[in-house]
């Protein structure tokens, strides 16, 4: 085997190996997860619920997010998604809470999105749902939002597994995030953002990973093609 051919083969193997490392990472990230626009305690945030379809035989027709009950989010509003209807269900609070001069006896408990016929999330697709919530509880509070994904064949996948002390990711991890301290002291009442905040602009880590894998594979193919062309000129 010529040295040129050996170099081409080594380059191809190296690129393939990198792709094999990257692609499993993409598969591991293909879970329902929630990205907060902000995490500042006392403020409002837009939560982007990213839902990939993981079934080759059925489509996703309904998504339900459970909101925290021990640290309730007193204000919840949804952003319209074409082809889907959204509803917010409330539940009684253990004790009344004063919310900017209004006494509340119940708080949002679940948010449900239901697909209209023909708008389900199909195999190889994902959908993003946004909710504006707040005020966020004190800094250092972990907000866990178990999410339930219903498929058209009746299957329900509960993304509700807690992360074990070992830190190893469970099979169906519950989406969660932790609040952070306010940047400045003595802040006035937080202002609720509009439902059109930049949650939709949040980059997709799965898309980035697959894009990187594509670049690596493309680079390997280019190396092989250039070396093969050079070899043909030498042989001629």
Tokens of 109: 């408990």
Query: Structural domain tally of the chain?
Result: 2
Q: Check pLDDT > 70 for residue 10.
A: no
Answer yes or no: do 14 and 114 share one domain. Answer: no
Confirm whether pTM is higher than 0.75.
Answer: no
Q: Please report where in the chains the tokens 């996703």 appear, as a residue.
A: 60
Averaged confidence pLDDT in the chain: 79
Read off the pLDDT band of 198 (50, 70, 90): very low
Answer yes or no: do 107 and 17 share one domain. Answer: no
Answer yes or no: do 144 and 231 share one domain. Answer: no
Answer yes or no: do 115 and 43 share one domain. Answer: yes
Read off the pLDDT band of 31 (50, 70, 90): confident
Answer yes or no: do 102 and 196 share one domain. Answer: yes
Q: How many angstroms separate the first and last alpha carbons of the chain?
A: 17
Answer yes or no: do 94 and 210 share one domain. Answer: no
Answer yes or no: do 65 and 162 share one domain. Answer: yes
Beta-sheet strand order (sheet of 60-66) = 84-99, 102-115, 60-66, 147-151, 156-159
d(CA 111, CA 131): 9
Answer yes or no: do 2 and 119 share one domain. Answer: no
d(CA 210, CA 41): 34
CATH of the domain at 61: 2.60.40.2230
Domain range spanning residue 186? 38-201
Backbone angles phi, psi at 210, to 5 degrees: -65, -35
Q: Check pLDDT > 90 for residue 123.
A: yes
């Amino acid at each position: 085997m010529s040295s040129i051919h050996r170099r081409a083969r080594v380059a191809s193997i190296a690129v393939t190996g990198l792709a094999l490392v990257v692609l499993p990472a993409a598969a591991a990230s293909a879970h329902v997860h929630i990205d907060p626009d902000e995490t500042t305690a006392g403020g409002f945030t837009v939560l982007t619920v990213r839902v990939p379809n993981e079934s080759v035989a059925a489509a996703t027709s309904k998504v339900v997010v459970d909101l925290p009950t021990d640290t309730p989010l007193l204000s919840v509003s949804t952003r319209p998604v074409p082809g889907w209807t959204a509803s917010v269900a409330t539940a009684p609070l253990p004790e009344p809470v004063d919310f900017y001069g209004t006494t509340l006896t119940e708080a949002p408990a679940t948010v449900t999105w239901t697909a209209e016929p023909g708008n389900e999330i199909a195999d190889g697709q994902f959908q993003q749902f946004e909710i504006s919530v707040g005020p966020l509880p004190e800094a250092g509070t972990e907000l866990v939002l178990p999410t339930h994904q219903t498929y058209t064949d009746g299957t329900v996948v509960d993304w509700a597994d807690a992360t074990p002390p070992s830190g190893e990711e469970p099979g169906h991890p519950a989406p969660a995030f932790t609040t952070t301290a306010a940047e400045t002291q003595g802040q006035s009442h937080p202002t609720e953002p509009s439902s059109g905040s930049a949650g939709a602009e949040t980059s997709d880590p799965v898309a980035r990973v697959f894009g990187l894998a594509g670049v690596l594979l493309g680079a390997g193919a280019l190396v092989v093609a250039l070396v093969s062309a050079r070899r043909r000129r030498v042989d001629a």
